[in-house]
Amino acid sequence: MKRSGSPPNAWRKSSHSTSGAQDCVEVTNDRGLARIRDSKDPHGPTLPLPHPTWAAFLDNLKAQ
């Protein structure tokens, strides 16, 4: 995921997603939180995570 360069509250998909992928998550920055949602349900619930938690999650994925 890109961590900078996107306007606030702009939902974005992982750079590993293909253009036609339907099973993706999206993330946005929102007042100190990373909000995550299912791309198939853009009006559904979101998972709010503090930025340090989101960053640790991404770092853990990269270490795999």
Asked if 47 contacts 55 with a C-beta cutoff of 8 angstroms, the reply is no
Domain count, the chain: 1
Q: Classify residue 4: in a domain, yes or no.
A: no
Q: Classify residue 53: in a domain, yes or no.
A: yes
pLDDT score for 42? 86
pTM for this structure? 0.71
Q: Which helix (H) or strand (E) holds 40?
A: none
Total residues belonging to the chain: 64
pLDDT digits (tens, 9 = 90+) for 23-55: 788 999 988 899 999 888 889 999 999 999 999
Q: Quick check: 7 pLDDT over 90?
A: no
Q: Classify residue 56: in a domain, yes or no.
A: yes
pLDDT score for 51? 93
Q: Quick check: 62 pLDDT over 80?
A: yes
Task: Give the residue among 43, 41, 44, 47 at the shortest CA–CA distance from 27.
Answer: 47
Beta-strand ranges (E) seen in 1-64 are 12-13, 25-30, 33-38, 47-50
Q: Classify residue 6: in a domain, yes or no.
A: no
Spell out the alpha helix ranges (H) of 1-64.
Answer: 51-63
